[in-house]
Structure 1
Amino acid sequence: MTETTPAPARTMHPLLKFALEMGPLVIFFVANGKAGIYVATAAFMVATFAALALMWVLARKIAVMPLISAAVVLVFGTLTLWLQDDHFIKLKPTMVNALFGAALLGGLAFGRPLLPYVLGDVFRLKPEGWRRLTIRWGVFFLAMAVLNEIVWRSVSTDTWVAFKTFGYLPLTFVFALAQAPLLNRYALEPEADAAARAAEGRPAAE
């Protein structure tokens, strides 16, 4: 009997990945303008899971963070529609960011940094680099949770939807770009990278 090997994961183009992440937010924004927050919430839920399905079809894998975010969308979106209370969908970004921030900083505090499991296939860093990057991302996520709380409690629903659509991802993108000097400073040399991969039982990078 011959064993069937699983289909290898594929690399998704960054622009396509960005489009799949941005698409549900744009649908949320348009649906809110045309039919209100509850129709927008339902459309956002459908679009989120459609984007996940496309990610799986195109890349044969789904990253941890979009998967967790989609699970929170399902819970808070369902509560929003069931109870007809838009506070729940407004709380969703707070909960997601607080969860990511607490997980990153908590894992680091207990000596179990989680960021290498998320980004280890993209970046190869020295331990100090992972520590610093984890702290930065953990603080960033907590700051975004606080910012969402301030925004949704201070402005109209339409303004909050616009912030969620056109504010959150650009802020995240700018923050990610700002980490380039740290990534360059603590990047593993090719020899060290090969040794680290060998220690993990993984093939050397091409």
Structure 2
Amino acid sequence: MTKGTDVSDKKINGKLKMALELGPVVLFFAAYVKLKDQVFTIGGADYDGFILATAGFVPLMILSTLALWKLTGKLSKMQIVTLVLVVVFGGLSVWFNDDRFFKMKPTLIYLLFGGVLGIGLLRGQSYLKFAMEEMLPLEQEGWMILTRRLCGFFLALAVLNEAIWRTQTTEIWVYFKTFGLSAAVFLFFMTQGSIFQTYGLDEEEG
């Protein structure tokens, strides 16, 4: 390794990385399940369990993201954007005692990511390649196909989140947000195996 290697080359234990990325979400879900049927009076205002769980989730998300940055030396644009939206919309939900702000957050995240990928596609480029090229070495055509599919997938998730939070109970939305969205993303990439087989680059080519 050369003397000029920067902090972006820092490695982190995979289990610790997963704990930092998923920990705040798991703790939010646990807090909501424990507090969902309770109402707390603070400063003369009544707050339900969802708002209190959100109030705890925001600082946890900040701390976990800062820890990831400290340990790895870098953050992806997706992590930064997600943190900003969590702080802004989570903060608005707590400040105005209105859970709608926090429930809209996934919609805006997926619209933003889908929109950015869509703009790149209109310009004949794959912005996904710029973000994930080191992790997924693919031929250019493979990147374009994957980007088109992921763009449509993100936009579909945005619509789905809006439909769920506007028509279902808070409890159903929490389960959907915690498990449904994560499972959907996992299944999406699991079903893209044909792209990686057809357009994947060997290590020598990459």
TM-score (norm: length of structure 1): 0.85
8 Å CA contact 1:94, 1:149 repeated in 2 = yes
Pairing partner for 1:63 from 76, 91, 94: 76
Pairing partner for 2:195 from 182, 191, 195: 182
Pairing partner for 1:54 from 60, 64, 67: 67
Unaligned stretches of 5+ residues in structure 1: 194-206
Instruction: Report what 2:43 is aligned to.
Output: none
Give me the CA root mean square deviation.
1.9
- Measured after TM superposition, the shift of residue 156 of structure 1 is 0.9
- Cα-to-partner distance string for 1:71-120 (whole Å, 9 max, x where unaligned): 11111111111111110000000000111011111111112321011101
- What is the letter of the counterpart of residue 34 of structure 1? K
After superposition, where does 1:1-206 map in structure 2 within 5 Å?
Answer: 6-35=6-35, 36-193=49-206
Unaligned stretches of 5+ residues in structure 2: 36-48
In structure 1, distance between residues paired with 2:120 and 2:153: 16
In structure 2, distance between residues paired with 1:115 and 1:13: 25
In structure 1, distance between residues paired with 2:182 and 2:11: 21
8 Å CA contact 1:94, 1:144 repeated in 2 = yes
**Change beyond 3 A, Cα 1:30–1:54:** same
In structure 1, distance between residues paired with 2:144 and 2:150: 10
- Cα-to-partner distance string for 1:116-144 (whole Å, 9 max, x where unaligned): 11101111111100100101111111111
8 Å CA contact 2:114, 2:150 repeated in 1 = yes
Q: Which moved more, 1:180-189 or 1:38-47?
A: 180-189
In structure 1, distance between residues paired with 2:107 and 2:146: 21
8 Å CA contact 1:25, 1:164 repeated in 2 = no
In structure 1, distance between residues paired with 2:57 and 2:64: 10
In structure 1, distance between residues paired with 2:125 and 2:102: 31
**Change beyond 3 A, Cα 1:173–1:158:** same
